[in-house]
Structure 1
Amino acid sequence: DPNYPTIYPIFRDRFKARVASTSGYDRPGWHADVTAAVNPPAASILRAEVLPPYGGDTQWSNTVAAYEGLSAPVKALADGLRAVHRFSPGAGTTPTEDYLRRVEKRPLLTEHPVVRVHPETGEKALYVNPGFTSHIVGVSPHESRRLLELFYDELARPEYTVRFRWAPGSIAFWDNRSSVHLAPRDLTTDDDRRLYRITLVGDVPVGPDGRESVALEGEPFEAI
């Protein structure tokens, strides 16, 4: 609705028309919202309106708990690492030409700390995710893949996760700075699922060493 530009509709058919031919919704895999920006969203609010008769649950994982689950030597290693986050079409999608042009026109590429200090609680959280993290800086490609696999495995441990079953009118409100979420994987192209999202502008992440994230390409998000 042009009268409410801050409200983003999440519809299967809208995603397919604007972004890519896909069997799913939005970005597949665990992710935090748009961490490719230098100031990723602080939080998101999602409201459900139309849902399929079954399936379509969303899962969240606590990235503070995931960091705490690492051993002390691995925590110390992670505290000093940086990683590049890139905005790109999700795996398994066939992007439209218009979408590729828009991505090329407004690229988002940022170097973030692998461990983020929460600006309000002071807690440390793992700040990598399969949806946007490209590689770890300063290590070999092989080491980067293995380290990211270790961190991703920790993020996905069931004891850190919650599964939310939507109903019409349900609202989910999550902290994007200390969680990752997983879009539903049990839907087909025939399932109608319509939700609306508002995203809150965030600040620039800071690592345990006090270093802020650095934008490599693209501009910070601004409030509408």
Structure 2
Amino acid sequence: MEAVLTHLRDAIERGELAVGEKLPTEAELGKRFEVSRSVVREALRALQALGLTVSRAGKGTYVAAGGPVQNPVFGAYSARDLIEVRRHVEIPVAGYAATRRTQDDVDLLTHLIGKMEQEPDPTAWVALDTLFHISVAQASGNPVFRKIIEEIRDALARQSTFLNQLGDRRRQSDLEHRALVEAIVGGSEGAAVRAMAAHLEHVETTLNTIVRPGTAQHPQMKAKKQHE
């Protein structure tokens, strides 16, 4: 998928595929790159999330811009929308989870992170990732928080897929999730808040790196600059 995406993205950004031009069909692209149509479909979804293409029902996929938009869209919500809401919801939620979690919550989160670390299938991992964040919200003891995360679960899944495909985020996400689980299990509100904040900061940094290669700062460097 990455090879197909890279080739099409480069062709668009170099102007070989002009704005308004129709891309070959999924079948044609699959034959050209010797991959399945499902692989091509994932690459086309990533192009659309980047704002490079638009899909027109019954007509095909067309080039929409010569470069990626600054604010990719995942389903009904943009990356900026998701980051803003997640900062205001999931960071305090992590703190509440650390002080209110039940043994059932601890068992579920521990089970989920273990499965994620061992899951070989990317699609299954994304489903577990979404369930993990819903379960953290559930551990907060406030059903409203869970409802909020469930509302954006489709967008979170699309964003997670995007980050794993283009930003190779999966291994790092597992480490960040493990740190969060350890903080919640340990009952440390401060550690849980810091772990979730670091997780979201890395998500945002990876998104910026994908959209604007070479411009995003590592979270520690960004924090240092702000401090100075």
| TM-score (norm. length: structure 1) | 0.26
Report which structure shows greater RCO (CA 8 Å, sep ≥6).
1
- Say which structure is richer in strand: 1
More helix as a share of residues: 2
Q: Which of structures 1 and 2 has the bigger CA Rg?
A: 2
